[in-house]
Amino acid sequence: MSRSPKFSADAGNAGELHQRVPAKGPHTADGHLTTNQGIRVSDNQNQLKSGARGPVLLEDFALREKIFHFDHERIPERIVHARGSAAHGYFEVYKSLSSITKADLFQRPGEKTPVFVRFSTVAGGAGSVDTPRDVRGFAVKFYTQEGNWDLVGNNIPVFFIQDAIKFPDLVHSVKMEADRGFPQAASAHDTFWDFISLMPESTHMIMWAMSDRTLPRSFATMEGFGVHTFRLVNAKGKSTFVKFHWKPKLGLQSTIWDEAVKIAGADPDFQRRDLFERIERGDYPEWELGLQLFDEEFAEKFEFDILDATKLIPEEVLPVRIVGRMVLDRMPDNFFAETEQVAFCPANIVPGVDFTNDPLLQGRLFSYLDTQKSRLGTANFHQLPINAPKCPMANFQRDGMMQTLVPKGRANYEPNSLVQAGEETGPRECPVTGFSNFADVDAASDTGGKVRIRPESFADHYSQARLFFRSLHEAEQAHLASAMVFELSKVQLEHVRVRVLSNLVNVDPALAQRVAAGLGAAVPKASAAAAKPIDLELSPALRIIDGPMQRETLEGRSVGILIADGSDAAEIEAVSKAVVAAKGRPVLVAPRVGGVKTKGGKHIPADGQLAGTPSIMFDAVALVLSPEAAQALTKEGAAVQFVMDAFGHLKAIGANAGAKALLDKAGVELDEGVTGLGKDFIRAAGRRFFEREPNVRTLA
């Protein structure tokens, strides 16, 4: 058996490349690498062995500690919302809200409160992709002067279920099927639709889940909602019901299903990367906080129970009052320490904010704290920097796993009277300044004996689903119907498909007919409804296309500019400058990442290589090509697909005369979204051309 060369203590080990000279670092003042116990490490490249080729010695404590910590780097991921991205920022209140709440962060106009915001998908694991059809979590931790307030919501204002006792069933149904371990991060399978078809209360949420709302283009272009009805309480003890809304400054923007699928393949981290790059370049995502405020009289007159999380209050019925803005301007310093270890809990509220008897909210108040203990392994998770309040904190809770504080004093109980040798008696309750729960004696409480029953006011499961579907733009309706066809085509159990269709008849017979036709099935009779559906006045605020949150602008959006050897440098520069002037981001894409040599011999570097930077990464595209380059690119599949996808995904395409051969090869037909490279392109680049859609794909 051949032997490897022997190593002397001083010869050619890889560790010698790193040398023994301490580099300045964050862990010790003088830059020395140490163990977790502060013991300086002399060699971080080689294990301690019995001889150069001998066995490793157990006494190598530096090795054992390093491997031990590595083996435990991963903690249990969240059961839901495992795939998350987050950022730091601040909330700024516009004017005092003292008349409706005593919450400190709402008292002084212009005051900024630090926040940490986590966006997430619901169904997939931490290693799934960013862009599946799924609800998005939208959780905000306010570090207020009175403690942490966690507003833990979604990008949809309603939910699947009315009572928290059904949440484990919902999640089990949408997760990977128990016997086969797939599909991952997808609702298009038997168990989910079986559960949904048996739970009519989920119908309204299904309309949202199958709509374009669950295919957001960016975190920065989706709304956020607190989902539940909460209370705001002022200094006089007066309560006002409230629903929380986050309105994106850049408006609403979604993707096309085909586009979302292709983005998942091209860049699984698309939305996470987008958030990072926006903040890195200073295009800070921004939302305005809106409140729907109402009293008991409104609650009693409203058609639906305000404690029912499967219902919303249309903005046309109760306008949203804008009260402040939130800006995200800093990425986490460490993904694990902050994004992964942040612990949100709806029970974290501050004086001036309070709960209602919403049965879904009440269950969440219990569940989250239990979850954090399971994930983070200790009751002291609140001591982690990302979870710690930024205001003073003091109590007599002691010890426990991973206690990092060193409480002083003899007494660890309250009340106590031990004052000696300079010791204080410790913190005390204060009825005047402390949190006091709202005395819930109004009609909405309807308290009584202990019962397991749904109130009759929760019984209408279809009217708001009908309202949502009929309020959508016709293109959005087609997308929703097509999404239903896609999802149900993955359901192998026929009786489940039939049951879903029978529920859809109660929502809208025409929708049921479209979905049934897409499945090649007959429309069944409507399912029995606990309450007869009613027709409500339509709510344009629920739509994305032609809705109040649509923004036809290039601000915050990106334009892919396809160039090649022989392109005109002046045209490239003109388009780029026009995009920047419109507050967009130009990205030069070329067959080679090294760039191109323009018509005048100038070298222009590229931002992305054609095969690795498809048009799905952009909101619009421009083609700046010579006739010779365009002709050559007709034989390049990535180039043809670049243009074909942009056209099929209803985006604006700006092109010079030289690009005609490539446009023709990609099957581009002239319409309002296909322009030259001038002002017409900049105007068109801020929108999608949904009128094109019937010509490029078959929808239900």
- 207 contacts 480 by C-beta, under 8 angstroms: yes
Here the tokens at position 127 are: 């290693």
Q: Is 441 helix (H, G, I), strand (E, B) or coil?
A: coil
What are the φ and ψ backbone dihedral angles of 585, each rounded to 5 degrees? Answer: -125, 110
d(C-alpha 683, C-alpha 654), whole Å: 11
81 is catalytic: yes
Concatenate the DSSP letters of all residues of 625-690 into one string: --HHHHHHHTT-HHHHHHHHHHHHTT-EEEE-GGGHHHHHHTT---STTEE-SSHHHHHHTTS--G
What are the φ and ψ backbone dihedral angles of 421, each rounded to 5 degrees? Answer: 50, 40
Q: What one-character DSSP code corresponds to residue 20?
A: S
* The one catalytic residue among 81, 189, 473, 479: 81
In 10 A of CB 120, how many CB atoms? 24
Length of the chain: 700
- 109 contacts 200 by C-beta, under 8 angstroms: no
Here the tokens at position 683 are: 């105007």
Strands 585-590 and 230-233: unpaired
Here the tokens at position 570 are: 């002046």
HSE, side-chain direction, 13 A CA sphere, residue 386: 23
Here the tokens at position 132 are: 């599946």
* The one catalytic residue among 148, 154, 380, 656: 154
- 391 contacts 145 by C-beta, under 8 angstroms: yes
Concatenate the DSSP letters of all residues of 55-73 into one string: PBPTT-HHHHHHHHHHHT-
437 is catalytic: no
Q: Show Cβ contacts of residue 499 under 8 Å, excluding neighbours closer than 6 positions.
A: 197, 198, 527
Give the Cα-Cα-Cα angle 92, 138, 157 (nearest 5 degrees): 100
Q: Show Cβ contacts of residue 5 under 8 Å, excluding neighbours closer than 6 positions.
A: none
Residue with token string 């010509």: 695
| Of 645, 202, 257, 268, the residue nearest 487 (C-alpha) | 257
Q: What one-character DSSP code corresponds to residue 617?
A: G
- 330 contacts 279 by C-beta, under 8 angstroms: yes
Here the tokens at position 184 are: 């991952």
Q: Show Cβ contacts of residue 156 under 8 Å, excluding neighbours closer than 6 positions.
A: 135, 136, 205, 208, 209, 213, 214, 225, 227
Percent composition of the chain: helix, strand, coil (DSSP 3-state, to 5): 30, 15, 50
d(C-alpha 278, C-alpha 422), whole Å: 52
d(C-alpha 6, C-alpha 573), whole Å: 61
Q: In which region does residue 496 sit, left (phi positive, over 0), alpha (psi from -120 to 50) or beta (all else)?
A: alpha
- 144 contacts 88 by C-beta, under 8 angstroms: no
Q: Is 697 helix (H, G, I), strand (E, B) or coil?
A: coil
Amino acid letter, residue 117: V
Q: Show Cβ contacts of residue 71 under 8 Å, excluding neighbours closer than 6 positions.
A: none
| Of 444, 480, 486, 485, the residue nearest 465 (C-alpha) | 480
Here the tokens at position 135 are: 């609800």
Whole-angstrom CA distances from 41 to 22, 31, 62 are 10, 11, 7
Q: Show Cβ contacts of residue 553 under 8 Å, excluding neighbours closer than 6 positions.
A: 250, 251, 582, 583, 686
Point out the residues that are catalytic. 81, 154
